[in-house]
Amino acid sequence: MENMTTNKSVLSWINEKVELVKPEKIVWIDGSQEQIEALRAEACSTGEMIKLNQELLPDCYLHRTAVNDVARVEGRTFICAPSKEEAGPTNNWMDPAEAYEMLYAIAKDSYKGRTMYVIPYSMGPVGSQFSKIGIELTDSIYVVLNMVIMTRVGTSVLEALGDSDDWVRGLHCKCDIDEEKRYICHFPQDNTIISVNSGYGGNVLLGKKCFALRIASYQGKNEGWQAEHMLILGLQKPDGEIRYICAAFPSACGKTNLAMLIPPEGYYKNGYRVWCVGDDISWIRKGADGRLYAINPENGFFGVAPGTNEKSNPNALASTRKGTIFTNVAHNLDNNTVWWEGLDKNPPANAMEWKGNPWNGQESEEKGAHPNSRFTAPAVNCPCISSEFENPNGVPISAIVFGGRRAKLAPLVYQSRDWNHGVFVGSIMASETTAAASGAVGVVRRDPMAMLPFCGYNMADYWQHWINIGAGLDADKAPKIFNVNWFRKDDDGNFLWPGFGDNLRVLDWIIDRCEGKVDAVETSIGFVPKAEDINLEGIEDEVSEAQLKEILSVDNALWADEIAGIEEFYGKFDRLPATLKEELEALKANIK
Ligand code: GTP
Ligand code: SPV
Ligand code: MN
């Protein structure tokens, strides 16, 4: 196949990698419909993908990964900066020269008898000042077809790149899917990513976490912008105006759900709407008017399937009804469709579970779908996709929201006193772990700004970067910073807040705070709503006033314990910004 570019940096890098992995042939991905169709057909002929019922789910496919390869592997993810100090205490580090040597030994000859796909892709609308280009080499058709949905792919990307060597190099080799030799390595100083021995999502769709967060966070630090694990939504009020909110929650903690929220009935009737700009990643920079603007660098949603249903997230479900790849869900053999826990109360009896074994969902105790099973759906499918989704200049941000899963402690919502206090609030985030990464589930861990697994450099320097960004903003233009917790539980383990669409009630308060329209109560941790300012109309049966007061309460005794955890965490950082130390001292004083 002919080269699709004359760019020397691209061709010489590909040649080098061809020498290393020795593919049988090379296929450039041009993004054309014919090519996509041919690849789908080929993947179906080898069993790599299963074509689903084309009447019910047009252009939809099912894929099963290896059983040992179902989530990101944080323990095998490395930041290969020149020194360990640059990677910081929260990242795994490997010396770059040693890492290259080890990875090349694993990758050597691994494409023998296989095809190398060359995927030129853009993170962000092609040609936008925010956007960045990458090239991923892969031996997986599944990766190609996912990248086609998740990013902008093909000829136009290479045209936009021209002769430039400002692009991110990505090499993915499936090898033998050997967990002992699985490595996801980042070389921020070289704009390079190498991923071996995996075929799953965040490990191999290199535009996503590897580039758009780990490499991009490092680029952003050097270039004065930010790459964040944040959704972007537009909240339309009855006046028709739309205010934009970015929110960072850890993996599988509600970003997709919040970004596509459908307002409760009363709100909806009054004209409230939520528009989705993005569900996972934000690239943020200061605009000419001095405000912060955000784009979603992705072009699709790689969303958690279990729990997605007509009630919890109808917009996400609708997004998956065409052109979608399902990974590790159950296969309903009666009608050749898919099923997952929480889709409906009627699991298929004649089915295969996510591993491909026969499964009777009516009788089996086993799960049909893996808890981290996902859909890869085109953003354009989403009924509430924002009209600004393709805006090359992004959307202006009014509020930044942090949040996580905390059964106790964190109130439903609180507002930071100012930007630096907000950075502190983000830095002390903690959340119960989920199935999105391999390892234990439900354990509380520190996950600052939801970036623990995704920050491409020293987290202390990342916090300083946040502080510097704020210092460059006029106070009246800086987004206000909040923290939310949809996951507070009572002593019997029941959620105290209904969540999902009802989270709009909290977003409404957040925007009112940004616009100075509502008062608040100052507590030791920040500003909390007065109970009467959270509108419970329509959910009075579910949330009593006492319950609301409970989830808005700040328990100083619990916070005193929390401080010990924060101090221990902060103690890991030699380069902790002085500002954060001061914020911690202020919190300690307030709690007393
Ligand atoms: P990644 O794609 O992994 O980054 O995750 P995400 O943050 O987009 O997570 P998502 O929105 O897919 O949330 C997944 C899980 O959170 C599911 O189990 C949902 O049921 C649950 N969830 C989302 N919103 C709420 C909520 O408001 N309340 C409760 N109780 N659960 C929620
Ligand atoms: C996450 O784990 O935060 C995800 C899914 O969004 S993955 O792309 O696998 O990282
Ligand atoms: Mn994510």
pLDDT over threshold 80, residue 498: yes
Rounded CA separation 530/533 (Å): 5
- Residue 184 is predicted with a pLDDT of 98
Q: To test the ligand 1 pocket, which listed residue (208, 249, 256, 319) has its Cβ within 8 A of the most ligand atoms?
A: 256
**450 CA to middle of ligand 2, Å?**
11
In this structure, the residue with its CA closest to atom 8 of ligand 2 is 202
Beta strands in 312-356 (DSSP E): 325-327, 330-332, 337-339, 351-352
Q: Where do the DSSP E strands lie in 353-446?
A: 358-359, 374-378, 395-403, 413-415, 430-432, 444-446
For the record, the structure tokens of 116 come out as 């190398």
Reported confidence tier of residue 198, pLDDT bands at 50, 70, 90: very high
Q: Is the pLDDT of residue 568 over 90?
A: yes
Task: Find, among 306, 304, 314, 262, the residue nearest to 279 by Cα.
Answer: 304
CA of 436 to the centre of ligand 2 (A): 6
Show the ligand 2 pocket: residues with CB < 6 angstroms: 72, 201-202, 208-209, 251, 280, 302, 436
> And the tokens for 287?
């605009």
Strand-by-strand arrangement of the 374-378 sheet: 50-51, 61-63, 325-327, 374-378, 300-304
pLDDT at site 578? 98
Point out the catalytic residue in the list 185, 210, 253, 382.
Answer: 253
Question: How far apart are alpha carbons 500 and 486 in whole angstroms?
Answer: 8
Give the pLDDT band (50/70/90) at residue 1: low
Q: Report the pLDDT value the prediction gives residue 136, as an integer from 0 to 100.
A: 98
pLDDT cut 70: percent of the chain above it: 100
- CA of 531 from ligand 1 middle (Å) equals 25
Distance 347 CA to ligand 3 centre (A): 27
| Interatomic CA distance for residues 301 and 278, integer angstroms | 8
Among this protein's residues, is 246 annotated catalytic? no
Atom 20 of ligand 1, residue of closest alpha carbon? 307
Atom 5, ligand 2: residue with shortest CA distance: 202
Other Cβ atoms closer than 10 A to 569: 19
From the CA of 254, how far away is ligand 1's center (Å)?
3
Residue to probe by mutation, ligand 1, list 208, 229, 246, 253, most atoms within 8 Å of CB: 253
Please give the model's pTM, rounded to 2 decimal places: 0.97
pLDDT at 436: 87
Nearest ligand by distance to the CA of 281: 3
Among residues 556, 565, 527, 553, which one has the least CA distance to residue 428? 565
| Residue with CA closest to ligand 2 atom 4 | 251
